Amino acid sequence: MGEEIKFSEVVRTFREQLGVKPEKFSEMLTHGLLNISYTRQTIYNWESGKREPDISFLLALYTYHFGTHAWQLGFAAECLKAMRPETFKSGIIELSFPKRNNHNKNE
């Protein structure tokens, strides 16, 4: 069995792939979610492994972007898998990209 990825690596990887600083990453991450915002310090804490993202935030993020190919959907799914690997290894819960809806022609 392969080594499990840490959620801090997921956060860092997504931010670096986007090529943005933590401040911008936090803005992009919460875009479209009402009453949710994070500071650059929060992102630093996630990347360093000092804190984990709230499960409720990740589920809200996943639900909000379900039906799209938005990077936030992948971010939420990968963080949840990294934070709770035992839940997803059982096969009872599977998070992945859903079939694409054609309601958004800009994608």
Residue 93 pLDDT class (50, 70, 90 cuts)? low
pLDDT score of 67? 76
How confident is the prediction for the chain on average, in pLDDT? 80
**Is 11 a domain residue?**
yes
Which DSSP state fits 15? H
Question: For the chain, how far is it from start to end, CA to CA, in angstroms?
Answer: 36
**Is 107 a domain residue?**
no
pTM value?
0.72
Q: How far apart are CA 98 and CA 67, in angstroms?
A: 6
**Is 101 a domain residue?**
no
**Is 105 a domain residue?**
no
**Is 104 a domain residue?**
no
Q: What percentage of residues in the chain have a pLDDT greater than 70?
A: 77
pLDDT score of 91? 59
pLDDT score of 106? 42
**Is 62 a domain residue?**
yes
**Is 100 a domain residue?**
no
pLDDT score of 94? 57
Provide the residue range defining the domain that includes 19.
Answer: 7-89
**31: domain CATH number?**
1.10.260
pLDDT score of 102? 41
Quote the number of domains for the chain.
1
Q: What does the block give as tokens for 105?
A: 């022609």
Residue 25 pLDDT class (50, 70, 90 cuts)? very high
Residue 39, pLDDT above cutoff 80: yes
pLDDT tens for residues 50-84? Answer: 999 998 898 888 888 887 778 898 898 889 888 88
Q: Is the distance from CB of 15 to CB of 25 less than 8 angstroms?
A: yes
